[in-house]
A = this chain, B = another copy of it.
């Protein structure tokens, strides 16, 4: 028996949250006050139906909305919205036997206005911290959820169009560029050794050291985003203990969520490419 694409994706969600230390994020050893490990377990289980839909070829927007609605069925709030935004097109690409940068780029390019509507409807299920949109995009503020769908249809914007305009969002940047960080980190995960949860924690640190986290920028400001990346570099260079940093960032509410999303996406690609558990 081999794992299905949807099972690989669900397992990636679980391994991502189990990896420790992941400074600032919920992990196997740390909870936030109202967002705990078990909320991520329930989020992963709840997302599975949408992930199976994606693997069966359901439209990206519809599969994403189903996955988010299932994920949101727990009391922690937004656990894995960003992860799912990356996983759904990757699972679609894998199901088409084309899990490559080019393959996922095609899936993203083929999205429609209906997919964009599914994406907006997903915001009805859960509160997601996002940056203020530029003024001309206000009618399309994602926080409007399904209320923004008429404006979306009027402008004829596809999901790829919407994400092309989401500047500063690290997940949207992956969509726009054919998932470069995801695929690069997947190879590093495969080249690494030891238990997969330890590999996940190291991937998280590498990704954070490499690029400032968009979620930290939105929720804690520019300076915090810069600091998080500098201190991840210090951890990688052995100048700082990531366990101490993890405790400090949880206390200070510095939560590199986008980095966790990309870690999860990279784990998924690595699992599909033979990372063994």
Contact = CB atoms under 8 A, between A and B. Distances in A.
A89 to B, nearest CB: 21
A247 interface: no
Interface residues of A, number: 34
A3 B45 contact: yes
A69 B3 CA distance: 11
Interface in A18-54: 18, 28-29, 36-39, 41-42, 44-46, 48-49
A37 B276 CA distance: 14
A226 B146 CA distance: 60
Contact of A48 (B7, B38, B74): B7
A152 to B, nearest CB: 23
A27 to B, nearest CB: 10
A73 B15 contact: no
Given A11-B45, A38-B277, A73 B3 contact: yes
A158 to B, nearest CB: 26
Given A29-B29, A197-B37, A277-B39, A46 B3 contact: yes
A18 B41 CA distance: 9
A1 B46 contact: yes
A4 B45 CA distance: 10
A111 to B, nearest CB: 23
Which of A11, A41, A70, A72 has the most chain B CB within a 10 Å cutoff?
A41
A95 B46 CA distance: 18
A48 to B, nearest CB: 7
B70 A1 contact: yes
Contact of A14 (B2, B45, B73): B45
Contacts of A7: 45-46, 48
Contacts of A11: 41-42, 45
Interface of A: 1-4, 7, 10-11, 14-15, 18, 28-29, 36-39, 41-42, 44-46, 48-49, 69-70, 72-75, 195-197, 276-277
- Of all A-B residue pairs in the complex, the 7 with the closest CB atoms, nearest first, are A14-B41, A42-B277, A11-B45, A1-B69, A74-B277, A7-B45, A10-B45
Given A1-B46, A37-B197, 17 more contacts: A1-B72, A1-B73, A3-B42, A3-B46, A3-B73, A10-B48, A14-B41, A18-B37, A18-B38, A18-B41, A36-B195, A36-B197, A38-B195, A38-B277, A39-B277, A48-B48, A75-B277
18 contacts: A1-B73, A3-B42, A3-B45, A3-B46, A7-B45, A7-B48, A10-B48, A11-B45, A14-B14, A14-B44, A15-B41, A18-B38, A18-B41, A29-B29, A36-B195, A38-B195, A38-B197, A38-B277
